Amino acid sequence: MEKNYAVIAAGGLGTRLKNYKQNNFTKVLIDINGISMISLQIKQLASWGLNDFVIITNPEYHDMIKNDVESNFNNLNLHFVTQLEPNGIADALSYASEKIPENSLITFVLGDNFFGSNPLIDFDLDNFSGAHLFVKEVSNPQEFGVIEVSADKVINIHEKPQDYISSFAVVGLYIYEYKCFEYIKHLKPSERGELEITDLNKVFLSKKNLNYSILKSWWIDAGTEERIKNLKDLI
């Protein structure tokens, strides 16, 4: 099996949380029951058996994030890279390529996404190819990207559809083969000027190499004060 690298997107500023409990820093440095969000994320992924990490930061808070993480972990292989401009999640992922050997696998996680159990525990990474999404059934699919499924196969991905497509929201956890970095090079910016992770997933879909799993336990996207409170209650 190829080596599996955990890549964490930790560059988002979290503007909705700017003044949360006098938070003057980036979102991933918010305290969650005595530990920063980014260190809690690494602790979560390490408990899944991941040991090699690439943390994608932003220029303003790179040193603070690096210092926080290194003060909490001395037994993991840690790399830090900076996304120079906030040009989208797929763009952030592209920066990890300089730290990851060719033919490795990439477990890509958004820094504020947390899970009630290890979704990789029953996942066969041997001979993996393509891309794999994780989805959660939700009651408000219009607030998320959702997959459209036919005969247990992904046939399309829709961003925040106002008309009902499905209740399977795509969460901030993805597994990619190394080819993802080459595909990102050919993505075109979206209307908001960013390289979108949905567009990367659609490349794999066009190649009939996109699969999915349904999460069995809770999932929290801790991007609001209410969800952070819920996370604190759950961990």
Q: What is the mean pLDDT of residues 65-78?
A: 97
Give the whole-angstrom CA distance, residue 133 versus residue 122: 14
Give the model's confidence band at 143: pLDDT under 50 very low, under 70 low, under 90 confident, else very high. very high
Nearest to 92 by CA among 202, 8, 13, 2: 8
User: Contact at 8 Å (CB) between 65 and 29?
Assistant: yes
Q: 67: domain range?
A: 4-134+171-234
Taking all residues of the chain, what is their mean pLDDT, rounded to a whole number?
93
Residue with tokens 């910016």: 189
In the chain, how many domains are there? 1
**Which ranges of 79-170 would DSSP assign to H, the alpha helix?**
89-94
For residue 152, tell me if it sits in a domain.
no
Give the whole-angstrom CA distance, residue 176 versus residue 102: 12
Q: Tens of pLDDT along 153-168?
A: 999 999 999 999 999 9
Q: Which two tokens stand for residue 153?
A: 């196969």
- Measured in whole angstroms, the distance separating CA 90 from the mean position of its chain's CA atoms is 10
Q: Tens of pLDDT along 93-136?
A: 999 999 999 999 999 999 999 999 999 998 888 889 999 999 99
Question: The domain that contains 76 carries what CATH number?
Answer: 3.90.550.10
Q: Tens of pLDDT along 184-203?
A: 999 999 999 999 999 999 99
For residue 98, tell me if it sits in a domain.
yes
Give the whole-angstrom CA distance, residue 98 versus residue 114: 26
